[in-house]
Structures are given as structure tokens and as C-alpha cells.
Amino acid sequence: MISTRISGRLDRLFFKETGRTLRQGEPLYEIYSEELLTLQKEFLLAKEQFEALGKEEPRYESYLRTAEKKLSLYGLSKTQIEQLRKSGVQQPRITFFSPATGIITEINAAEGQYVNEGALLYRIESTNKLWVEADLYSNESKLVSVGDRISVRISGYESTPVEAKVVFLSPEYRANTQIVVMRGVIENPDMMFKPGMQAQVLFTHSSRKALSVPVDAVIRDENGNHVYVMSDKNTFEPRMVKTGVEDFEQVEVIEGLKENETVVATGAYLLYSEFILKKGADPMAGHHH
């Protein structure tokens, strides 16, 4: 939470939209403050007294240090104080910089607004580490444990999977279905990933041999799941199958298919639509697995 250290008028906001990535040390806002002008004047006066009388009177050094400490406590950086020391010129408007790196999630100010000391201006969330959450069905929950390292493909960055560490597993009951919420932690030092991005979780460490078909090969309707299997040359027939775990590319087939059988991998929905168009009925109507 970024709040003002001092009362004054916000003359400029360097960030005006939420969702922007902000890095530590970037300018956040510029403020005009009578109180800051007074503190700068005190510092310059203490500096002049120290330079003129500091050798004879040691107390003037403590006055200068106190004045400098005040400026620092009110948010001026060492660079800004040093510039004031060298130039000897008061700055009517002071720029304040971000103390943290993250994403701006809230802005509670506008340019030209007068603010009191402690007023909330920005809320920034750190994104050096992100959570990835996935809902697992009961037959998938046994594939992962807390502490496992899993592979995650994030939308837009599928060619470079990242590793996440599983830190949390929580059984829940939703819509009459028992699921397990899995949470993993992803390192994000380059701020490449943003909260809310979609991701695909891969349990590659739990790989096992299984019969699988491409996702597009499986037709799903109210009667269940089925695929089109080649029964003769240029002839295909629908067959009910029972599926298991799946990802965006492959679906495990537990029952209904044998190894080396030929199935329609692309165009299955076209066959399905053609059948209904010509026959006027679902090819699997009356078939239950």
C-alpha cells in the first residue's frame, strides 16, 4: 500500500491505469507541499550555518543531520537530498518513487487532488512469485502430492514450460462433484507472467503407459463419449468409449478401444454432424456404456 508521507496537492500521477507493471525506483507521483518547502528551507539554512560556524560550534552539524533526517523520513531519496545540497535551490514539486516491484491493482487518487498525510494512493501486488491453481477430479488427485515439481504451460508461452512446486492440496465439494484444489508456486523474477493468465498443468513425473487418442477424436454428447473406428476400407462406425485423464492434446481411453485400431483423429465432428443430418438421429442413441 503506497500512501503519502506528507499533505499536499498531487500535480502528476505517472501511472493512471491498474494492471500496469511497476518496478522499484520508478517515479510514482509528484506532489506540491508547503510543508516540504519548509523542510527544504530548514535543511538549506542548517547547511549554511554548518558551513559558516560548524568548525567552532559542533552543534550545527547535529542541526544539519536532523534536517536531513526529516527530509528522508518524509520520503525524499538520498539522490534528491544530495541534489538539494549541491544546488541550494528548493524544489516546489517533489517526485516520489515506488518502493516495490509489482502490478498496480488499485489507484485511489487523481491529478490536482489535495491529499492528507497517510492517504492511500496506490495498491501494488508483488508478482515475483505467482500461484497456479488447478481443479483435479478424484481420479487425477492421486497423481500429485505436496512437494512435487510439476510442469506448467502458460497461455502465450506454451513453447517454454515452467516448473512449479505443489504447496497445497485441498478437497472440496462443488456442484455435486468431489474435486481437489491444487496450488503450486511459480517463480516470476522477470515479471513475464501476469495474474489471471490461463495455464495447463502437466503431471509429467507420473507418466504411465496408456492407450490414448487426440482430444478432437472424442465426440462428447448426452449419451457419453464415443469415437469413430475404421471397420472397413473407407468405412467408420461410432463406438462408445470410457475415458480417463486428459490434457489439451490427448485423452486416455480406458475401455472401448484396442491398440492398433484406426480412429478418426480429425474431422470426427464432421462425421457426427453428417450422420445426424442424413439419419436424423444420434448415432449412439440407445447405446449406453
pLDDT tens string 94-108: 999 999 888 899 999
Domain range summary for the chain, segments of one domain joined by +: 2-125, 129-206, 212-279
- The residue among 142 and 181 whose pLDDT is bigger is 181
C-alpha dihedral, 52 to 58 to 59 to 61, nearest 10°: 70
CATH fold, domain 212-279, is 2.40.420
Per-residue pLDDT band at 285 (split at 50, 70, 90): low
Residue 289 has pLDDT above 50, yes or no: no
CATH 3.30.565.10 fits 129-206, yes or no: no
82: which 3 cell numbers? 544530495
Cell of 113: 487532488
Mean pLDDT of 193-212: 80
CATH number of 2-125: 2.40.50.100
Q: Between 78-87 and 34-53, two packed helices, what is the crossing angle to 10 degrees? A: 60
Tell me the per-residue pLDDT of 247-284, one tens digit each, with 9 for 90 and over. 778 888 998 888 888 888 887 777 777 777 766 655 55
Whole-number pLDDT of residue 15:
94
Q: How many residues does the chain have?
A: 289
Cα 206 to chain centroid distance, Å, stands at 26
What's the pLDDT score for residue 284? 58
CA nearest neighbour of 236 among 192, 207, 269: 269
Classify residue 71 as left (phi > 0), alpha (psi -120 to 50) or beta.
Answer: alpha
Average pLDDT, the chain: 87
Q: Is the dihedral of CA 142, 145, 148, 152 positive or negative?
A: positive
CA–CA separation, 237 and 134 (whole Å): 36
Is the whole-model pTM more than 0.75? no
Confidence of residue 288 (pLDDT cuts 50, 70, 90): very low
Position 86: which residue type? K
- For residue 130, pLDDT over 70 is answered with yes
Q: How many CB atoms lie within 10 A of CB 147?
A: 8
- Cβ neighbors of 181 (< 8 A, separation 6 or more) are 133, 134, 135, 136, 168, 169, 170, 171, 172
| pLDDT > 80? residue 61 | yes
The whole-number average pLDDT for the span 231-236 is 83
